[in-house]
Amino acid sequence: MATAASSIPVARPRAVGWKRLPVWVRRAIIFAALIAIWQAYVSFRDVNPLLFASPWDTATTFWDGLRDGTLTKPTKTTLLLLMEGIGIGILVAAVLTAFATLTDVGEDLLTLLTSILNPLPGVAVLPLAMLWFGINDKAILFVIANATIWPIAINISTGFKTANPTLVSVGRNIGLSRVRQITDVLAPAALPYAISGLKTAWAFAWRTIIAAELVFGVAGSEGGLGNYINNARLYFLTPQVFAGLVAIAILGVVFETVFGVLERRTIVRWGMKTS
| Residue ranges that bind other proteins, judged by CB under 8 A | 164, 166-167, 169-170, 172-176, 180, 184-185, 188, 191, 266, 269-272
Q: Which is nearer to other proteins, 72 or 162 (CB)?
A: 162
Gap between the Cα atoms of 224 and 229, Å rounded? 9
Interhelix angle for 126-133 vs 191-216, to 10°? 70
Based on its alpha-carbon atoms, the radius of gyration of the chain, rounded to whole angstroms, reads 23
Q: Which is nearer to other proteins, 43 or 183 (CB)?
A: 183
Write the DSSP symbol of residue 121: -
Q: Smallest distance, Å, CB 26 to other proteins?
A: 30
Residues 191, 272 contacting (CB under 8 angstroms): yes
C-alpha torsion sign, points 124, 125, 128, 129: negative
Q: Which is nearer to other proteins, 67 or 172 (CB)?
A: 172
Residues 211, 123 contacting (CB under 8 angstroms): yes
Q: Smallest distance, Å, CB 272 to other proteins?
A: 5
Q: Which is nearer to other proteins, 169 or 257 (CB)?
A: 169
Q: Smallest distance, Å, CB 1 to other proteins?
A: 9
Give the length of the chain: 275
Q: Smallest distance, Å, CB 266 to other proteins?
A: 7
Q: Smallest distance, Å, CB 8 to other proteins?
A: 16
Q: Which is nearer to other proteins, 123 or 268 (CB)?
A: 268
The separation between the first and the last C-alpha atoms of the chain, rounded to the nearest angstrom, is 14
Gap between the Cα atoms of 17 and 12, Å rounded? 12
